[in-house]
């Protein structure tokens, strides 16, 4: 076994912990005609129609698992997933759309989901399946904001290094779907949302911009995010105008926590990054590593976080702190990238490229960073790996690690080295996993 083998085994165990079928089976129970979902329970004998709606990278797999449990009790359904994230379903239609930059297919899907919700009656039951990616997959801009302007808004915030939570504050206040508005469309029907959290803190109003959750933020908050990133003069004028009108009270706010419509809405987190981190810790210990949980709320600029991990590696090697070798440092969360170059990559790949520079020349060290959803930025890789020899190995192939980092071209760099982590669609989405292994290898 090598450090690379160990890191990949730990990551695989983390992925398996987020398997959607087992998470649904824990959250949903059908006993005769009694359906328990999260903290809510219903007698299906008194339900006219059970509708299934959803959006997110994992919503297809969630729909498949729910169908296996409920079968033809589901009257109708529709979920929208990222391209390639399909699952075989019979009662629930699956539509594909673009992510992370929204497209017209997503806009059509959002309109169909809203139409289904508006047709629900008080004696129906609406089950909503939500996972990360749902925001981009359901663009429903409020006129006169156009889809092209919504795309431009998303591109500007992602390039500026905004977190998903920050971007979603703005998106909720420019949408007909997000910020509790899908639940509002379904009222007075009872709504149960089953949510896979891909956000730090697991707030239901942040995952996929909270289509069925009361919105804790305001137009003023959205304007503050725009100002924080200096984007007022760069995002579409129609967006700025709407946010300003809302902040002045000229436009109605998104539904808030005390709105009576949420009396019949239940939002239940069925999976989060804690499961991923705990599974990683367990597998690392089984392999003989001493583990140290860095955090489940990792965030910040990917390059800076990588430098912190390099410093950790030095501390472990020099004085066995915060954990003695053989060591496995584990973190869950999601970093960000401020795009300054013209390359291609993602936050996990950029973390590993910066990590390779920080670990250069250090023996018996290895880092892996990957998204549990199988996609990192606009690439087909989940992430990458690096060690103390990565920079030298790259140089022998004519690759300059520093230049690659300056151009934000981590994908091209690791693709040439064969050090990308490629899983394909995992049909789950529980944030990222970051691993630092410091040898020597455990003795078995």
Summarised one tens digit per residue, pLDDT across range 171-200 is 999 999 999 999 999 999 999 999 999 999
Residues 212 and 346 reside in one and the same domain: no
pLDDT of amino acid 443: 80
Say whether both 251 and 375 belong to one domain. no
- Whether 314 maps to a domain, the answer reads yes
**424: phi then psi, degrees, rounded to nearest 5:** 75, 180
Domain end point (choices 271, 286, 303): 271
* Domain's final residue, options 271, 302, 320: 271
* In a domain? residue 217: yes
Decide if 26 is inside a domain. yes
Do 216 and 246 sit in the same domain of this protein? yes
What CATH code is carried by the domain that includes residue 25?
3.40.50.10180
- Of 216, 236, 271, which one is at a domain's C-terminal end? 271
Q: Tens digit of pLDDT for each residue in 229-249? A: 999 999 999 999 999 999 999
Kindly report, residue by residue over 107-139, the tens digit of the pLDDT: 999 999 999 999 999 999 999 999 999 999 999
Tens of pLDDT along 279-316? 999 999 999 999 999 999 999 999 999 999 999 999 99
Assess whether 373 and 238 both reside in one domain. no
Find the DSSP H helices in 45-103.
59-70
Cα dihedral sign, 375-381-385-391: negative
What are the pLDDT digits (tens) for 376-433?
A: 999 999 999 999 999 999 999 999 999 999 999 999 999 999 999 999 999 999 999 9
Encode 45-57: b = buried (16+ Cβ within 10 Å), e = exposed: eebebbbbbbbbb
Around Cβ 41, how many Cβ atoms within 10 Å?
Answer: 13
Task: List Cα–Cα distances, 13 to 10, 67, 279, 349, in angstroms.
Answer: 5, 26, 6, 20
**For residue 213, pLDDT beyond 70:** yes
Instruction: Count the domains in the chain.
Output: 2
Asked if 163 and 27 sit in the same domain, the reply is: yes
pLDDT score of 444: 63
> Do 200 and 323 share a structural domain?
no
Judge if 288 and 349 occupy the same domain: yes
> Is pTM, for the whole model, over 0.85?
yes
Domain range for 421 is 274-438
């Amino acid at each position: 076994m090598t450090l690379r083998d160990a890191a990949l085994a730990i990551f695989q165990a983390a992925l398996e912990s987020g398997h959607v079928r087992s998470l649904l089976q824990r959250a949903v129970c059908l006993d005769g005609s009694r359906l328990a979902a999260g903290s809510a329970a219903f007698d299906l004998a008194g339900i006219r129609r059970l509708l299934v709606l959803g959006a997110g990278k994992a919503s297809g797999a969630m729909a498949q698992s729910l169908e296996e449990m409920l079968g033809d009790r589901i009257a109708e359904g529709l979920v929208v997933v990222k391209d390639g994230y399909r699952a075989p379903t019979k009662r629930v239609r699956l539509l594909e759309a673009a992510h992370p930059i929204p497209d017209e297919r997503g806009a059509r899907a959002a309109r169909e989901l809203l139409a289904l919700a508006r047709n629900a009656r008080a004696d129906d039951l609406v089950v909503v399946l939500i996972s990360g990616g749902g925001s981009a997959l359901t663009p429903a801009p409020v006129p006169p904001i156009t889809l092209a302007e919504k795309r431009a808004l998303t591109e500007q915030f992602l390039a500026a290094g905004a977190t998903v939570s920050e971007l979603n504050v703005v998106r909720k206040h420019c949408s007909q779907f997000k910020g509790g508005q899908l639940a509002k469309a379904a009222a007075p029907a009872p709504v149960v949302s089953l949510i896979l959290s891909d956000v730090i803190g697991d707030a239901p109003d942040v995952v996929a911009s909270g289509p069925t959750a009361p919105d804790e933020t305001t137009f003023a908050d959205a304007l503050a995010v725009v100002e924080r990133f200096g984007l007022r003069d760069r995002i579409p004028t129609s967006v700025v105008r709407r946010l300003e009108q809302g902040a002045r009270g000229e436009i109605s706010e998104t539904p808030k926590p005390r709105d009576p419509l949420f009396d019949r809405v239940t939002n239940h987190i069925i999976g989060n990054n804690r499961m991923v981190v705990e599974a990683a810790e367990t597998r690392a210990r089984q392999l003989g590593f001493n583990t140290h949980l860095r955090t489940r709320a990792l965030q910040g600029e990917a390059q800076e976080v990588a430098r912190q991990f390099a410093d950790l590696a030095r501390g472990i090697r020099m004085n066995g702190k915060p954990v003695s070798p053989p060591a496995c440092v584990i973190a869950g969360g999601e970093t960000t990238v401020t795009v300054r170059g013209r390359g291609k990559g993602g936050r996990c790949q950029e973390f590993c490229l910066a990590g390779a520079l920080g670990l250069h020349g250090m023996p018996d060290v290895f880092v892996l960073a990957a998204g549990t959803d199988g996609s990192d930025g606009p690439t087909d890789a989940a992430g990458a790996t690096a060690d103390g020899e990565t920079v030298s190995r790259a140089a022998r192939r004519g690759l300059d690690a520093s230049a690659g980092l300056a151009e934000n071209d981590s994908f091209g760099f690791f693709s040439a080295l064969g050090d990308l982590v490629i899983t394909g669609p995992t049909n789950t989405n529980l944030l990222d996993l970051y691993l630092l292994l410091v040898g020597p290898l455990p003795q078995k």
